[in-house]
């Protein structure tokens, strides 16, 4: 035999030499949950090792991450029920929990990259990503709320705005609002292919943001569809997105690759709460090796084409020097 591929696998040194895919701290974005109060830290029951933080503890958590070389954070608020309404007005109130958190993080750690979530569901009394009228999610009317939210985030110091709502036309609308108000350098990381997935449950537990009725299938994508993701991604790129995101990640590695092969923009992927919970449950039962399982997951997402990975594993892989 002239060709023996095993020769390039015969030692650790050679295996590392020919390794095609690498994951580093620069590729990782750490999602963090925020709650009101002082000195609060509560674990998400369905996400072992993941916590909701009051702003003071959020700052301590980010400081510890920065020391590990983890520099990018996506913030998500847990909003009290009595502050929620049909039009998500709390989302752009100047002294809201979320806007205060953004300002404090950027004030204390200007070097950190702060990514903010633009969607109505954490603030909506209906628990949906858009304005609800007679059981219908209104698309165009929702854009005004999303624009106000994105502008408030930019004014508070956000580096990247990440609309996760899946309303048609929202990237272009937000881009125009930001540009018209002088925030031409604020980026947009669009949730371009966000699927109506079963893997979001623990996240909704963390934020208490589940829909009060129905589901999100009229605006989030059908898990059976692949080519539709290209339509969404191409529209977002034309409307001014700087990153294109696929969510979830593991069940949609084919979609990550498809979008990566059809754009010059960086592609992000969200290794979501249900994926994290699934892996952690198996690890806790002794069914999987923790280090190998987690690093294999992250490597597979990178290999599929993701430049940036939003993952709840971000801190632990750096703390344990698994990368």
CA distance 32 to 53: 8
Domains and CATH numbers, the chain: 22-319 (3.20.20.70)
Q: Give CA 64 to chain center in angstroms.
A: 20
The torsion angles phi and psi of 42, rounded to 5 degrees, stand at: -125, 130
Catalytic residue among 194, 216, 260, 280: 194
- How many C-beta neighbours within 10 Å does residue 232 have? 22
Return phi, psi of residue 277, to 5°: -60, -40
Residue 41 designated active-site: no
Along the 323 residues of the chain, how does pLDDT read in single tens digits?
Answer: 999 999 999 999 999 999 999 999 999 999 999 999 999 999 999 999 999 999 999 999 999 999 999 999 999 999 999 999 999 999 999 999 999 999 999 999 999 999 999 999 999 999 899 999 999 999 999 999 999 999 999 999 999 999 999 999 999 999 999 999 999 999 999 999 999 999 998 998 888 777 888 889 999 999 999 999 999 999 999 999 999 999 999 999 999 999 999 999 999 999 999 999 999 999 999 999 999 999 999 999 999 999 999 999 999 999 999 99
In degrees, rounded to 5, the angle at the alpha carbon of residue 70 between the alpha carbons of residues 170 and 323 is 115
Contact yes or no for 32/313 (Cβ under 8 A): no
Catalytic residue among 247, 260, 280, 315: 247
Instruction: Name which of 99, 122, 179 is nearest 147 in CA terms.
Output: 179
* The token pair that represents 85 in the structure block: 């309404």
DSSP structural state of residue 124: B
Which residues are bridge partners to 113 per DSSP? 72
* CB-based contacts of 186, cutoff 8 Å, min separation 6: 154, 158, 159, 160, 161, 178
C-alpha–C-alpha distance, residues 82 and 262, integer Å = 44
Is 275 annotated as ligand-binding?
Answer: no
Distance (Å, whole) CA 306 – CA 266: 7
Active site residue 194: yes
């Amino acid at each position: 035999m002239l060709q023996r591929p095993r020769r390039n696998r015969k030692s650790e040194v050679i295996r590392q030499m020919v390794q095609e895919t690498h994951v580093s701290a620069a590729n990782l974005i750490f999602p963090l949950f925020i709650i009101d109060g002082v000195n609060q830290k509560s674990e998400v029951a369905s996400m072992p090792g993941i916590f909701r933080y009051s702003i003071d503890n959020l700052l301590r958590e980010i400081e510890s991450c920065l020391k590990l070389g983890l520099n990018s954070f996506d913030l998500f608020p847990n909003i009290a029920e009595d502050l929620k309404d049909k039009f998500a007005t709390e989302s752009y109130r100047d002294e809201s929990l979320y806007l205060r958190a953004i300002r404090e993080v950027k004030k204390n750690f200007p070097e950190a990259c702060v990514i903010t979530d633009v969607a109505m569901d954490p603030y909506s009394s209906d628990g949906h990503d858009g304005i609800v009228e007679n059981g219908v999610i209104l698309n165009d009317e929702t854009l005004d709320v999303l624009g106000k939210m994105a502008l408030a985030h930019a004014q508070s110091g956000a580096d990247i705005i990440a609309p996760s709502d899946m309303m048609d036309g929202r990237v272009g609308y937000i881009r125009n609002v930001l540009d018209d108000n002088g925030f031409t350098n604020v980026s947009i990381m669009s949730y371009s292919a966000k699927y109506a997935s079963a893997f979001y449950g623990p996240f909704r537990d963390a934020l208490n943001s589940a829909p009060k009725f129905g589901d999100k299938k009229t605006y989030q994508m059908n898990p059976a569809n692949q080519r539709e993701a290209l339509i969404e991604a191409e529209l977002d790129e034309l409307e001014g997105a700087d990153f294109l995101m696929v969510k979830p990640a593991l069940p949609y590695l084919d979609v990550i690759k498809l979008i990566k092969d059809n754009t010059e923009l960086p592609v992000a992927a969200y290794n979501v709460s249900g994926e994290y919970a699934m892996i952690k449950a198996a690890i806790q039962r002794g069914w999987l090796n923790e280090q190998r399982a987690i690093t294999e997951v992250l490597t597979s997402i990178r290999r599929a084409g993701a430049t940036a990975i939003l993952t709840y594993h971000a801190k632990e892989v750096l703390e344990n020097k698994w990368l």
